[in-house]
Amino acid sequence: METMDVLLYDTTLRDGTQGYEISFSAEDKLRIAKRLDDAGFHYIEGGWPGSNPRDMRFFKMAKEVTFNTARLTAFGSTRKPGLSPDNCPNIGGLLEADTPVVTVFGKSWDLHATEILGVSLDENLSLISDSVRYLKSKGKEVIYDAEHFFDGYKNNPEYALKTIQTALEAGADNIALCDTNGGTLTWEMSEIVKDVATLIPPELLGIHAHNDCGLAVANSLLVVMLGVRMVQGTINGYGERCGNADLISIIGNLDLKMGKKCLPESSIRSLTGLSRYVNDIANIPPMKSKPFIGSNAFAHKGGVHVSAILKNTRAYEHMDPELVGNRRRVIVSDLSGKRNIEHKAKELGIDLGSDSGLSKKIVRDIKKMEDEGYQFDAADGSLSLLIRKAIGTFKEPFSLESFRVIDEKTGNRASQSQSTIKISVGDEYEITAAEGKGPVNALDNALRKALIKFYPRISEMHLVDFKVRILEGSDGTAAKVRVLLESCDEQEEWTTIGVSENIIEASWHALIDSIQYKLSKDDKIDTVQEVKNK
């Protein structure tokens, strides 16, 4: 196995679950653990077995799994005051988890020892020493997490250092320095770690940083440069308050910027997929602006920028997005030039040919519509239709004759919405009605019902998300609204847009574009030349 410069310790399954709205079942945890093992992570902290039945169930399930690269780790505290390690439920839970590695945390801040735990400073040292020594006697690899180490050092450096020396002397294999409150500034951390390294070899140290000052990634990278070998963190930076150090950003920087190997090359190229996989299981929408792997991380909007990257991508990109499994995107907006349109059309599978006048016309149309409230950088589906209409490759699959929506509210009963719609497809007309949970849902149901006999393929698509935004609040309830609809089928997702002073009409335009995009992508003509030849 290739030797890595930095050891990655993932605590998504334990510390990450302390984040707001994040909860994993035992089965979820096992799925993520397997994915992390496949990626080549070195340590996976599965949870705190003494704290809840779910974590204990996870460790029981994990015993049936063979981990090829990762060492599964159980997390818990030092022994309780007044109890010996062999009678302490905290220590017993760690052993019951039956993992090759245990991580035990203790108090390194004198304030926590005396005021929170309620023990003397000497007794706190005994808790640390007894726990580490006992776990080592059971054949475990022991990582000591020095909780609140940096705050402790700033308050009482002599005692904070004594706590980690005590753990090391008791046999700890690694000492993780924890910035538990996330308040240590980078230059402070540099000086403190340098001081620690005069007593403990840096290759025996780890870092566990929280992001309360937005510095968790920077602080983690800094201490690696000082020789610290183990980095703890979570996928996507999940964690309590402002989160933990984001291992996705750390890995990207370590491998691609600092030349520090931490994962196999194939895993680096799969970082985007790993991040989204954990997002999906956590049911948390991906952050589009996330460094390295966000959908906007390599997105270009300004015309000057797009023109430059078409000549040399290094002009406005710090690296090749494919190195982390991401891709370059060109965004079309009122800031666009014809190069944006040409590149975006190509990205959408449309060839504009050599007619520069056509590109300029599309730019003018987009700028005019964005002045009216449209926003095509978030609506590739509508943009694709706009371009195809401009070059003559789009044929209207149906026409609206009329629609009516009624919303009825009686007493305390939930409101009921009904929609009636009349459309024409060629020489045929269809009139249908449908109910829905709201006016837009009723309209959507009626439209699909009317079209399904003509275009059965629309049964393959469904709505993923529906967003409404007030564009200008000064007009109150008469203000313009922008509706964004995200739809998908088995092959892809697409977003369409509608704008109007009437929310129903704006929704209608977005609905029409969504269905038309589905039909056009299934049966499309892609080039201007094909239209001319037809």
Torsions phi, psi of 88, nearest 5?
-95, 125
pLDDT score for 337? 58
pLDDT score for 302? 67
More confident residue, 438 or 168: 168
Q: What percent of the chain has pLDDT over 70?
A: 92
- Supply the mean pLDDT for the chain: 88
- Looking from the CA of 394 toward its CB, the CA atoms found within 13 Å total 20
Can you give 154-204 as a three-state secondary structure string?
HHCHHHHHHHHHHHHHCCCCEEEEEECCCCCCHHHHHHHHHHHCCCCCHHH
pLDDT tens string 436-465: 888 888 998 999 999 998 999 888 888 877
Q: With a cut of 70, say whether residue 472 has pLDDT above it.
A: no
More confident residue, 419 or 307: 419
**pLDDT grade, residue 476 (50/70/90)?**
low
> According to the per-residue pLDDT averaged within each range, which of 175-179, 291-295, 435-439 is highest?
175-179
Please, which residues have CB within 8 angstroms of residue 377's CB and are 6 or more apart in sequence? 301, 331, 332, 333
* Arithmetic mean of pLDDT, 462-487: 76
Structure tokens at 13: 């399954």
Closest CA to 203 of 3, 483, 2: 3
Residues 266/2, Cβ–Cβ less than 8 Å: no
Between CA 121 and CA 125, with CA 124 as vertex, the angle to 5 degrees is 95
Residues 394/519, Cβ–Cβ less than 8 Å: no
Q: With a cut of 80, say whether residue 524 has pLDDT above it.
A: no
pLDDT tens string 36-77: 999 999 999 999 997 888 999 999 999 999 999 999 999 999
Q: With a cut of 70, say whether residue 380 has pLDDT above it.
A: yes
pLDDT score for 222? 98
Residues 432/420, Cβ–Cβ less than 8 Å: yes
pLDDT score for 414? 77
Residues 24/44, Cβ–Cβ less than 8 Å: no
Q: With a cut of 50, say whether residue 526 has pLDDT above it.
A: no
Q: Which residues pair with 145 in a beta bridge?
A: 105, 176
Burial of 488 by CB count in 10 Å (0-12 exposed, 13-18 middle, 19+ buried)?
middle
pLDDT score for 334? 47
**pLDDT grade, residue 533 (50/70/90)?**
very low
pLDDT tens string 316-363: 889 999 999 888 877 665 455 566 677 677 777 777 766 667 777 887
pLDDT tens string 77-134: 999 999 999 999 999 999 999 999 999 999 999 999 999 999 999 999 999 999 999 9
pLDDT score for 527? 35
Q: With a cut of 70, say whether residue 494 has pLDDT above it.
A: yes
Q: With a cut of 70, say whether residue 377 has pLDDT above it.
A: no
More confident residue, 268 or 415: 268
- Looking from the CA of 383 toward its CB, the CA atoms found within 13 Å total 31
Give the SS3 label for residue 360. Answer: helix
